[in-house]
Amino acid sequence: QKVPADTFYAPPELYEPNDWRDPFVFWNDSAREYWMLICARQSSGIPRRRGCTALATSTDLVHWQVAPEPFYAPGLYHTHECPDLFRIGDWWYLVFSEYSQKLLTRYRMARSLAGPWITPDDDAFDGRAFYAAKTAASPAERYLFGWNPTRTPETDQSPWNWGGNLAVHALSQRDDGTLAASCPQQIVAQFIQEHPLQVVPVAGQVQQNARELVVKASPQEWACAMLGNMPESCLFSAQFSFSEGTHNLGVMLRASADAETGYYVRIEPGQQRLVWDTWPRPGDAPHQTGLERPLQVGAGLPITLQVVCEGTIAEVYVNNEIALSARMYDHREGALGVFVEGGTLSAADLSLHTR
């Protein structure tokens, strides 16, 4: 319940009145006072680039003084929603969500609260289907809580909604201080029932032995193998590698028996990216708009893949570092499969589990 006596507004000479929200309060031990980060927009500048993270300070959590300068104002986005701040080791991390360019949850990193704030080469945690995320920590791990947005009407090409279902990633710190997103082990542990896989060749050369499945396509061809029907709720795991010159490779989800329709978790070595695709789809886009992540891969190197599906929700994790969320409305059932274009895919440790 709001307390009128404690209410304070955006100073008009500094900030616009309408975006003054999403407060994040923490105790700044160095300054010996409370700091509040606020989603705000500066009152001057290029209109769609006025978004910033404002700062207010207090000694008693009642009376707040708005700082004359914003905490972080890069002049890039319409606004910085849901600010969050935390520290791991020597690094501070500032998290916010922007809806002016790609509707992504992004982060910055700095050695000090005074900055300078560094933008990592990959400054997002996920794609378009993960937003408004904030973090919380257990003694052992930090988690990122956002929403996987629904679409209305429920089709793969409908507009995204402002809200959806909870999605949670586990965060870890790389040696260079950047952050990686992986599937929380608490979620993996829920899928305890092994679901049998049955390899059915569909196109190209398919070879199977006790340790791995090998799918080969000539330089100008596409090859695939089906692995059996997918349960509505399941966890698929595998370790992939590919040959030099391979165009793309990945997993088919809820695919038809002839591989004509379904969803594709596609790794594209030439573009060094992971994309989410579906067929059929309209337009000239090479995959579903906004559902892509940068991914460093190389011929012969192992690629660990996890895909969690539940109803219309899909959460993809690669190498315990890259996350990509998606929705599956048009195809509610179908088969699991693997595919490769213009090269060789080797798949080991294939497994499918249900709860």
pLDDT, tens digit (0-9, with 9 covering 90-100), for 31-52: 999 999 999 999 999 999 999 9
Say which residues have a Cβ less than 8 Å from residue 197's Cβ, sequence separation at least 6: 227, 228, 336, 350, 351, 352
Average pLDDT for 150-173: 97
pLDDT at 285 over 90: no
Query: Nearest-CA neighbor of 16 among 43, 36, 55?
Result: 43
Residue 282 has what pLDDT? Answer: 86
Average pLDDT for 139-159: 96
Q: What is the share, in percent, of the chain residues with pLDDT greater than 70?
A: 100
Residue 140 has what pLDDT? Answer: 87
pLDDT at 156 over 90: yes
Per-residue model confidence as pLDDT tens digits over 133-147: 999 999 889 999 999
Confidence of residue 93 (pLDDT cuts 50, 70, 90): very high
Q: Which helix (H) or strand (E) holds 187?
A: helix 185-188
Average pLDDT for 207-218: 94
Q: At residue 87, what is the residue type?
A: R
Q: What is the share, in percent, of the chain residues with pLDDT greater than 90?
A: 94
Q: Output the CA–CA distances (angstroms, integers) from residue 10 to 63, 79, 122, 124, 208, in the order listed.
A: 14, 14, 32, 28, 65
pLDDT at 286 over 90: no
Residue 210 has what pLDDT? Answer: 81
Residue 52 has what pLDDT? Answer: 98
Q: The tokens 């949670």 sit on which residue?
A: 168
How many other C-beta atoms are found inside a 10 Å radius of the C-beta of residue 212?
Answer: 17
Residue 168 has what pLDDT? Answer: 98
Per-residue model confidence as pLDDT tens digits over 231-248: 999 999 999 999 999 999
**Beta carbons of 327 and 148 less than 8 angstroms apart:** yes
**Beta carbons of 109 and 66 less than 8 angstroms apart:** no
Say which residues have a Cβ less than 8 Å from residue 258's Cβ, sequence separation at least 6: 202
Say which residues have a Cβ less than 8 Å from residue 302's Cβ, sequence separation at least 6: 239, 240, 241
DSSP letter assigned to residue 63: S
Q: Return contacts of 221-225, CB within 8 angstroms, 24+ apart.
A: 221/341, 221/342, 222/339, 222/340, 222/341, 222/342, 223/339, 223/340, 223/341, 223/345, 224/252, 224/259, 224/337, 224/338, 224/339, 224/340, 225/199, 225/200, 225/201, 225/337, 225/338, 225/339
Q: At residue 279, what is the residue type?
A: W
Q: At residue 31, what is the residue type?
A: A
Q: Output the CA–CA distances (angstroms, integers) from residue 208 to 201, 214, 230, in the order listed.
A: 10, 6, 20
Provide the residue count of the chain: 355
Buried b / exposed e along 34-71 (16+ C-beta atoms within 10 A): bbbbbbbbbeeeeeebbbbbbbbeeeeeeebebeeebb
- Greater confidence, 210 or 254? 254
Tell me the pLDDT of the chain averaged across its residues. Answer: 97
Q: Which helix (H) or strand (E) holds 84?
A: strand 81-88
Return the half-sphere exposure (C-beta side, CA atoms, 13 A cut-off) of residue 47. 0
CA 170 to centroid of chain Cα atoms: 11
**Beta carbons of 180 and 174 less than 8 angstroms apart:** yes
- Greater confidence, 39 or 284? 39
pLDDT at 99 over 90: no
**Beta carbons of 124 and 106 less than 8 angstroms apart:** yes
Residue 37 has what pLDDT? Answer: 98
Helix (H, G, I), strand (E, B) or coil at 48: helix
